[in-house]
Structures are given as C-alpha cells and as structure tokens.
Amino acid sequence: MLPRDAVPAGPLVLRELTVADADAVTSGCSDPEIARFIPAVPSPYTLDDAHTFITKIAPDLWDRGGACFAISDSPAGAWLGTVSLKPPDVRGNGEVGYMVAPWARRRGVASAAARALAEWAFAQGVARVELVADVDNPASQRVAVAAGFRYEGVQRGASPLRDGGRGDVASFARLADDPGEPGPRYLPDFPGGSLSDGVVEISPLTLADADGYQEMMGEPEAMAYSVPPEPPDMEETLRRCRYTPLWWLTGERAEMGVRDALTGELAGHLQLMNVVPPLGQAMIGYNLARRFRGRGFMTRSVGLLTEWAFGHTALHRLVAGTAVGNTASQRVLERAGFTREALIRSLLPSPDGGWDDDVQWVLLRD
C-alpha cells in the first residue's frame, strides 16, 4: 500500500481525511457542479454520505493500492477539497481525480493538488498518471493543463452520466520525465473574454449560440459555399459549441460568434482552424447571417481576429479560401488586407455534385 504521510503541495497540504471533515465535505459535495460532473457523488448529499466516504470509501481506495487525500492549507487545516489516485490499471497507470469546494475555487487549489499528487505518485514508482475531464467542464480541463498534464485527445462515450447516458471526456496525461509545468498556450484567451470595436464583438461560441448558428448555416447563401455544401445537423452544431473551450485551450482551433455589439445578437460565425504551429500558419473561415449583411460586420470581425492573432500568438501567416464565384467573401478579405495568392483547381465540392476552383488568400504578419 502507498504511504499515508502528508504531502506538501505548494501553499497547500495533502493529508488524510478525518471525521472532522464531514461537515465541510457535506457542504462542498452539495454543490450542483460537483453533482453534475461527478455522477458517483450522491445527490442530494447528506452527512451520512460524508461519513461513508471518509470511513469506508476512502480507506477502501487506500487498501486497493490507491490514495485519497484531503486538500488543506495546513496539516490540521480545514477541508478545501479532495484529490485521489485510482489503483493502478492493468498497465500500471494511475489516474488523478479531484473535487474542490465552491469556497476554495479560483485560487489554483485543484491544479496545485493535482500536480503534487502526480509527482508524489511518480516518487512511488508510477510511470504514467492520467487525468480525464468532461468535455463540458472547461474549468477542469484548465486544471489539467495548469498541473502540467498534456492533452492526448477525446474518449467518446467514456464516462457514465447521472441520467444514464454516456459522455465524452478530454484525456490528459503526465509521464515521470515530463517537465510538469504548463507551456505557453498557442491560442490564448481573448483579453477580457472578447474583442470589440464598438460595432461588432467576437467571442467564443457557446451552447446559447446553437439555435442561431443552425439557422444561419441553413440559409441558401451559406449552404452554397459550405464544405460540404449542406447545412450541419443539430448534433454537429451542439458538438461544435460544446467543444469550443477545449479546442481553444489545446490550440486546435478557435470557434467564435460574431455579435452585434449593441444588441448582443449572434450575427455570424468566425473560425481559426487548420492551425499548424511548426509553420506558424492557420486558416480563417466565416459566415454572416443574411439580415446582418451589407453593414461591414464581417470585415470588422476579420480585422479584430487578425490583429489579435498577430499580437497574441506565434502565427505569422493567415490564409483563407473562397470559391471563384463568392465575390462577397473575396471583398471581405480584400478590405481586411489579404492578397490573392493562388488558384487551386477543383478543390471545393459544389452543390451540383461537381467541383469548384478555390481562390486562396494570405495575410502576413509583416
């Protein structure tokens, strides 16, 4: 069995749970977010549940070769959360899990605890420590990155949900010889969460945008130049909105809503995709709802995005593609400073089942 001595975690301490923690555990585990993302936690949560966890569930985890610590600010301090290490799987890998009380969040508690527990596990001979986070839980994904875990992909339907369904999880891991400190994000968050010039605002897509996005992408003008040239189904739209925080965090892509800065209405969609860090290159794509056209919204939005990309990322080259007949999109790019670079023959699927040429554009940092 693993040692149960207290583990230093920066300004925190990982210590054994005691019955004195029961009231705090009861209060913390009554939080709706914990109930939502940790289906094994009873809901509603009672003092009896806390005693069962402290006196039976946690000791059993230790007995099976795992570990379960209270997170505290001192060896005898108050309970701030729990961090655990599952018993080794068939390959000898461990898995970190954690929960943090609502009153202890936004202080780096979870990331400090996860980092310390992973390093402690390595000292006990564990070669690989994994961490999974629900794709709808960007806060937990940020914890993983801050604790030095590397993103490895999505496991579809890997997690049982409280309603009996199965959810996707983002998979992260650390090896014993990994540096353990997070590197700079390739696509950092927008300063303040959004960019605006007073007329338009661009910010990450959310689930609240799903209906507006679906309606916009079903307009004939949008379908004519979409790849493929057909509207997405609602499941695909919901996935795009749900995955946006994860894609952005891991540098895979940035999905944005273009909004009327005065009303907040969703006016369009803008994306930064096909990100290739070794080349310092990414592609932009966009669409604007019919009722917002002719007001310069997309030119302004592309300008905001390119200014951010060259000012806050390592990108030095932005590219875009337009069908030969899509003159409206070409005018947006020209006004935003892009220049025509190449003609790629028969690249884009057309609505009639054939193939259209693609006019490619570029904007360089310099």
Q: What does the alpha-carbon distance between residue 141 and residue 135 come to, in Å, rounded to a whole number? A: 8
User: Model pTM?
Assistant: 0.93
Same domain, 143 and 31: yes
pLDDT, residue 55, reads 97
% pLDDT > 70, the chain: 100
Same domain, 142 and 198: no
Q: Which residue has 């947006």 as its token pair?
A: 332
Q: How confident is the model at residue 104 (pLDDT cuts 50, 70, 90)?
A: very high
Q: How confident is the model at residue 188 (pLDDT cuts 50, 70, 90)?
A: very high
Q: What does the alpha-carbon distance between residue 232 and residue 223 come to, in Å, rounded to a whole number? A: 9
- Domain residues for the domain of 242 are 191-364
Task: Give me the number of domains the chain comprises.
Answer: 2
Specify the CATH number for the domain of residue 109: 3.40.630.30
Task: List, for residues 252-309, the tens digit of each pLDDT value.
Answer: 999 999 999 999 999 999 999 999 999 999 999 999 999 999 999 999 999 999 999 9
Q: Is residue 152 part of a domain?
A: yes
Same domain, 102 and 145: yes
Same domain, 101 and 219: no
Q: Is residue 180 part of a domain?
A: no
Per-residue CA distances from 359 to 105, 208, 348 (Å): 49, 33, 10
What are the tokens at 364?
């360089």
Q: Is residue 181 part of a domain?
A: no
Q: Is residue 1 part of a domain?
A: no
Q: Is residue 231 part of a domain?
A: yes
Q: Give the residue from 175, 207, 237 where a domain finishes.
A: 175
Same domain, 212 and 328: yes
Same domain, 23 and 124: yes
Q: Is residue 2 part of a domain?
A: no
Report whether 113 contacts 131 (CB < 8 A): no
Per-residue pLDDT for 351 more than 90?
A: no
Task: List, for residues 17-72, the tens digit of each pLDDT value.
Answer: 999 999 999 999 999 999 999 999 999 999 999 999 999 999 999 999 999 999 99
